[in-house]
Amino acid sequence: MRGTLWIVLGLFPLVDGHPTLKTNQNSLETADAALNHQSGSLNSVLHLDDTEKAALEPTRVDPAFPMKELNTSHYPATRAARVAQHYLNYHHGSPSKWFMVHDIKKASSEDIPEVGTKYHVQFSVQEQATKEIVGNCTAEILFRQTEEQSAPEVNCTCDDLLKIETSDADHALYHHIKHQPEPMTGMDIPDSQGNIPKEMEPFWYLGGIGASFIMWQQSNESTLYNMVHVHSVKQLNSENDLLAFDYVVLLHDMVSQEIIHWHMQVAWNPTQGVKVTQCHLLPKGTMKQPSAEKHKI
């Protein structure tokens, strides 16, 4: 089966009514709809005017909006590709599957007057658990010019994405967690020395996938996000067949060099994938920073 997936448009929930997750006034889809895309259906509840539709259509060369070839070593291409990575992870990642951009092959951008800047990037990704490289991803990333932060809109296809088969691992993990007598907890992943206990790895991945949602939402042309630490994770009770976890994660923005703390709740099962059900930014100084190791003397 040819593993090509069309994933159209960014989708995100309004969360806690919290202003830090401001949404584009035109897009009010929920994370549920985002997950529907994984199974191939293309829902769109966006109502766009003609300019906006034009901005989101696959690229046509239009002399009125010249395309600028970008140096693949320079930061504009790096930042755009990172957004596509976050998007890809949120829609395809799992506790057994986490992608990072491997190599940017080609990049260009076009300024769309009164709309924003649209980037076109071709890149490969490496899946972190299997180390497999998925060669051919193409993404269009639109950064709208808005006064407040709005999530970039992403249109992304990857050949051979589905060849990375982790559903056995995901199902095994799901059942393992479901059958534990006590809800799991963890903190400081990794610890100061970079160690991660084997049984914590899936929860580190899951945190990374959940954080990808936040990082995608918070990205713009002046950011470059990574998750650098899981401060804490705690399994929550859930009545349905979704597992639920409460996380505090630390994100690093390379451009400002700031470390920011986000509190999020993440739901997961192997068939529905990962969903961030709640998240909010923690003010600087609220959480004690990741603790250093005391050496045993």
**Residues 46-75 close enough to bind another protein by CB under 8 A:** 71, 73-75
Question: In whole angstroms, how close is the CB of 5 to another protein at the nearest point?
Answer: 24
Question: In whole angstroms, how close is the CB of 128 to another protein at the nearest point?
Answer: 6
CA distance 14 to 194: 34
Do residues 8 and 45 touch, judged by C-beta distance below 8 A? no
In a 3-state reduction of DSSP, which class is residue 42? coil
Q: Which is nearer to another protein, 160 or 188 (CB)?
A: 188
**Residues 217-276 close enough to bind another protein by CB under 8 A:** 226-229, 250, 252, 254-259
Q: Choose, by CB under 8 A, the member of 147, 194, 239, 283 that binds another protein.
A: 194
Residue 203: CB partners within 8 Å, gap ≥ 6?
Answer: 95, 184, 186, 189, 230, 233, 245
**Residues 72-131 close enough to bind another protein by CB under 8 A:** 73-75, 78, 100-101, 103, 128
Residue 65: CB partners within 8 Å, gap ≥ 6?
Answer: 110, 111, 112, 113
Q: Dihedral of the CA atoms 178, 182, 188, 190 (nearest 10)?
A: -40
Amino acid sitting at position 96: S
CA distance 88 to 196: 24
Q: Which is nearer to another protein, 37 or 231 (CB)?
A: 231
Q: Which is nearer to another protein, 47 or 294 (CB)?
A: 294
Q: Choose, by CB under 8 A, the member of 25, 193, 237, 240 that binds another protein.
A: 193
Question: In whole angstroms, how close is the CB of 69 to another protein at the nearest point?
Answer: 14
Q: Which is nearer to another protein, 27 or 89 (CB)?
A: 89
**Residue written as tokens 């580190």?**
204
CA distance 207 to 17: 22
Question: In whole angstroms, how close is the CB of 193 to another protein at the nearest point?
Answer: 5
Do residues 233 and 189 touch, judged by C-beta distance below 8 A? yes
Closest alpha carbon to 287 in 244, 236, 229: 229
Stretch that binds another protein, among 8-16, 166-174, 262-270, 281-289 (CB under 8 A): 281-289
Half-sphere exposure of 84 (CA within 13 A, CB side): 31
* By the rule CB under 8 A, 185 interacts with another protein: yes
Question: In whole angstroms, how close is the CB of 141 to another protein at the nearest point?
Answer: 18
Instruction: Please report, as ranges, the residues that interact with another protein according to CB under 8 A.
Output: 71, 73-75, 78, 100-101, 103, 128, 184-188, 190-197, 199, 226-229, 250, 252, 254-259, 284, 288-297
